Amino acid sequence: MQKLRLRYAKRGRLRFTSHRDVARAFERALRRAGVPMAYSQGFNPHPKISWIGAAPTGVASEAEYVELQVVQALDPDRLAQVLDAALAPGLDVLEAVQAGPGGLAERMEASRWRIALPGVGAPELAAAVDALMATEHVEVERLTKDGRRLIDARPAVISAEVVDSAELAADSPDAVGIDMSDAGRSCGILVVVVRQTTPAVRPDDVLSALRVVAALEPPVPAKATRMAQGRLDDGGGLTDPLAHDRAAIG
């Protein structure tokens, strides 16, 4: 069998799609594209697909990952093309590589999120972020299937930076993850690197922490996009999790 690793995006309205529905969409697309999937053994065989840290429902992503096992060797670039064509717009296959040695999940130490807050100016957001980063512990409440629970969101936040959306639009008019109707002085952009902990600290938990420390209340819902996942480097950045696979093949 051949193992392949894919990076895909979840964009636009499909950010509201649950992970279960995304998985079903991929399975249907694999069948339509005629991908020779490997299947598990037993009474109810299912295609060998492994999902790596799926983004929560309601957020977009440019850095989702999945592993596939197939029964005949495929060209990764060709697989990416045919699978992307079989998926609905908004679920976009960005890259496919043949898997090299080592696991993919162990390379996912943190995520970089870009969170747009329409109606919140950059100075107001920056003051709230300064208050958050100056605090060691911030407990926030999360509603789970077992009821409400408190989690400490602050230790997972490695870095946070505020970018004025007007400047971002000027530098990159097609900036990924930013609704340009929000671009302007009344829309602060928070770029935050969050360690992947258990339980996971999500973008809404970061916003809850800002509310706790600075009473920050966006007038409309924020829009979060995961821009990257990977291991943390010495500078607090993220390494490309597929780089080892490309190097192994090269």
Percent of the chain as helix, strand, coil, to the nearest 5:
30, 35, 35
Q: Which tokens belong to 69?
A: 């096992």
Flag whether 246 is in a domain.
no
Flag whether 244 is in a domain.
no
Domain check: are 138 and 86 in the same one? Answer: no
Domain extent for 156: 110-230
Considering the chain, what percentage of its residues have pLDDT values greater than 70?
91
3-state secondary structure (DSSP) of residue 172:
coil
Flag whether 120 is in a domain.
yes
Domains in the chain, number? 2
Min mean pLDDT across 38-47, 130-139, 207-216, 221-230 is at 38-47
Is the confidence at residue 67, as pLDDT, over 60? yes
Among residues 88, 106, 124, the one where a domain terminates is 106
Distances (CA, A) of 79 to 14, 37, 38, 76, 135: 22, 12, 15, 5, 47
Flag whether 159 is in a domain.
yes
Min mean pLDDT across 76-85, 96-105, 175-184 is at 175-184
Look at 168 and 11; give whichever has higher pLDDT: 11
Flag whether 151 is in a domain.
yes
Is the confidence at residue 173, as pLDDT, over 60? no
3-state secondary structure (DSSP) of residue 82:
helix
CATH number at residue 43: 3.30.70.580
**Cβ–Cβ < 8 Å for 121, 186:** yes
Among residues 56, 71, 106, the one where a domain terminates is 106
Domain check: are 121 and 95 in the same one? Answer: no
- Which of 120, 92, 209 is closest to 160 using CA atoms? 209
Flag whether 241 is in a domain.
no
